[in-house]
Amino acid sequence: MKIHNQIHVVGSYELGLSDAWDCHIYALDCGDGIALIDAGGGRDYSIQRIEQNLRDDGFDPAQIKHVLLTHWHKDHAGGAHIWQQKYGATVWLNEIETPLLEGKDQRFRGAVPECNVDRILHDGDEFTLGNLHFKTIQVPSHSDGICAFLLDLDEQGQRYRALFSGDIVFANGLYGLINYHGSSMESYRKHLHKLGGLNIDGFYPGHLMFSIYGGQRHIDVALQRVNGPFMPPSIGQSGITYLIPDDY
C-alpha cells in the first residue's frame, strides 16, 4: 500500500495487511532495490502476505536488499532471518541489541528467531542506500538500544522529512513503555529529547496511526510529558494497547 512517494506499507496486523505478530512494515523504494523498515514476526502467513503486498505495489520481493531493524522484539525482528536467507538481504541492528538477536545473550535466547546481524548501527550513524540517505537516532526507551531512522527525501526541490520511530513513541504522544526487559521511564527521560526539533513531515511508528504530514506534533506531545509528575499514557496500558496475538 503506497502511502507517500517511495514509502509503502507492506505488512501490519492492525491494518489487516499481514500476520498477528507483525508490526507496521514499511518498504522504501531505494531506486536500485527495496529497504524494509522492520521485518515482521516471520511466520509463514506473514512472509506470504508481505511478498504479495510488494507484488501488488509493483515490486519483486527479490528486490529486498536491506532490512533495517528498529529493535530486536519479535514483532519487528522475527522475520529478519527469512529475508536474509531467502533474498540475501543485509540485516541492520543497533550494537546494544545485536547479541540478543544473534542468540548470544543467554538470558533471552529463544525469545526471537536468531539472525546474524550484517551491519551494526550506532547512534548518529548516517548511511545511503541507493538514492535514500538515512540517519540513525538511538533512543533507549521501549528497549535498551532501540533506534529511529530519519530520512530526507527530495520531492521536486522540496524536502520531505520522515521519521520511522519503531516503538519509541506513537501517535498523539503515546509512549512505548512496557513491562519488559530494557523498557524504562528513566531512559525516556534521558533520551527522548533526541527526537525534538527535527521538524519531521512524515511520522511512521511501528504500530497504530501514522501521519503523512505534520508528524512533529506527535513527538512534541510526548516531549511535553516526559518531565511531568505523572506516568504518561503508554501503549502498554489497558484500553489503549494494540491486540496481543493469541500465542503471546
Residue in the block written with cell 500500500: 1
pLDDT at residue 117 in the model: 98
Regions of the chain with pLDDT less than 70 = 238-248
Task: Tell me the three cell numbers of residue 164.
Answer: 520511522
In a domain, 200, yes or no: yes
* Separation CA 72–CA 112 (nearest Å): 8
In a domain, 91, yes or no: yes
Q: How many domains does the chain have?
A: 1
| 3-class SS of residue 57 | coil
The strand pairing partners of 66, in sequence order, are 35, 90
* Separation CA 196–CA 93 (nearest Å): 23
* Separation CA 112–CA 100 (nearest Å): 8
Residue ranges making up the domain that contains 163: 2-225
The strand pairing partners of 204, in sequence order, are 164
pLDDT at residue 154 in the model: 86
Supply the DSSP symbol for 107: G
Q: Model confidence over 86-101: pLDDT tens digits?
A: 999 999 999 999 999 9
Q: Are 28 and 48 in contact (CB under 8 A)?
A: no
In a domain, 49, yes or no: yes
pLDDT at residue 227 in the model: 87
In a domain, 243, yes or no: no
In a domain, 164, yes or no: yes
In a domain, 129, yes or no: yes
pLDDT at residue 157 in the model: 83
Q: What is the CATH number of the domain that holds 205?
A: 3.60.15.10
Tell the burial category of 133 from Cβ atoms under 10 Å away from its Cβ (0-12, 13-18, 19+).
middle
* Separation CA 87–CA 63 (nearest Å): 8
pLDDT at residue 237 in the model: 80
Q: Which residues are within 8 A (CB) of 235 and not within 5 positions of it... i.e. 6 or more apart?
A: 167, 170, 174, 175, 176, 177, 178, 207, 208, 241, 242
In a domain, 237, yes or no: no
Residue closest to 182 by CA, chosen among 59, 84, 93, 96 = 96
Which one-letter amino acid corresponds to residue 57? D
Q: What DSSP string runs through 134-182?
A: EEEEE--SSSSS-EEEEEEEEETTEEEEEEEEETSEEGGGEE---SSTT
In a domain, 246, yes or no: no
